[in-house]
Amino acid sequence: MIHAKYSLSALALALVFAASGCSQKPDEGGDVIKIGSVAPLTGPQTHIGKDNENGARLAVDEINAKGLELGGKKVKLELLGEDDQAEPKTATIVAQKLVDAGVVAVIGHLNSGTTIPASKIYHDAGIPQISPSATAVAYTAQGYKTAYRVMANDAQQGKALGQYAVGKMGARKIAIIDDRTAYGQGLADEFEKAAKAAGGEVVAREFTNDKATDFTAILTSIKGKAPDLVFFGGMDPQGGPMAQQLKRLGLSARLLGGDGLQNVNFLKLAGADAEGVVASSPGLPIDSMPGGPDFRKRFESKYGVIQVYAPYSYDAVYALVDAMKRANSAEPAKVLAELPKVDIQGVSGPVKFDAKGDTMDGAVTVYEAKGGTWQVLETVK
Q: Along the 381 residues of the chain, how does pLDDT read in single tens digits? A: 333 333 334 434 344 444 445 554 433 446 999 999 999 999 999 999 999 999 999 999 999 999 999 999 999 999 999 999 999 999 999 999 999 999 999 999 999 999 999 999 999 999 999 999 999 999 999 999 999 999 999 999 999 999 999 999 999 999 999 999 999 999 999 999 999 999 999 999 999 999 999 999 999 999 999 999 999 999 999 999 999 999 999 999 999 999 999 999 999 999 999 999 999 999 999 999 999 999 999 999 999 999 999 999 999 999 999 999 999 999 999 999 999 999 999 999 999 999 999 999 778 999 999 999 999 999 987
Q: Report the number of distinct structural domains present in the chain.
A: 2
Looking at the domain assignment, is residue 356 inside a domain?
no
Same-domain check for residues 47 and 74: yes
Q: What is d(CA 325, CA 68) in angstroms, rounded to the nearest whole number?
A: 9
Same-domain check for residues 95 and 201: no
Looking at the domain assignment, is residue 168 inside a domain?
yes
Same-domain check for residues 62 and 192: no
Same-domain check for residues 110 and 185: no
- The DSSP element (H or E) to which 53 belongs, if any, is helix 46-66
Q: What is d(CA 171, CA 162) in angstroms, rounded to the nearest whole number?
A: 10
DSSP state string for 68-108: EEETTEEEEEEEEEEE-TT-HHHHHHHHHHHHHTT-SEEEE
Same-domain check for residues 23 and 123: yes
- Contact between 113 and 187 under an 8 Å Cβ cutoff? The reply is no
Looking at the domain assignment, is residue 187 inside a domain?
yes
| 258 backbone φψ class: left, alpha, beta (φ>0; ψ -120 to 50) | beta
Looking at the domain assignment, is residue 105 inside a domain?
yes
Looking at the domain assignment, is residue 65 inside a domain?
yes
Q: What is d(CA 205, CA 218) in angstroms, rounded to the nearest whole number?
A: 10
Looking at the domain assignment, is residue 358 inside a domain?
no
* SS3 category, 153: coil
Same-domain check for residues 90 and 175: no
Looking at the domain assignment, is residue 243 inside a domain?
yes
Beta strands in the chain (DSSP E): 22-25, 30-39, 68-70, 73-83, 105-108, 129-131, 147-149, 173-178, 201-207, 229-233, 254-257, 278-282, 344-345, 350-351, 364-370, 373-380
Same-domain check for residues 20 and 135: yes
Quick count: other Cβ atoms within 10 Å of Cβ 259?
27
Q: What is the CATH number of the domain that holds 276?
A: 3.40.50.2300
Same-domain check for residues 261 and 210: yes
Residue 363 confidence (pLDDT) = 87
Residue 22 confidence (pLDDT) = 55
Domain that holds residue 107: 2-152+289-348
Same-domain check for residues 38 and 139: yes
Looking at the domain assignment, is residue 354 inside a domain?
no
Same-domain check for residues 148 and 211: no
Residue 23 confidence (pLDDT) = 54
- The DSSP element (H or E) to which 338 belongs, if any, is helix 332-338
Q: What is d(CA 209, CA 228) in angstroms, rounded to the nearest whole number?
A: 23
Same-domain check for residues 140 and 23: yes
Same-domain check for residues 115 and 16: yes
Residue 10 confidence (pLDDT) = 40
**Encoded amino acid at 190, one letter:** E
- Contact between 20 and 331 under an 8 Å Cβ cutoff? The reply is yes
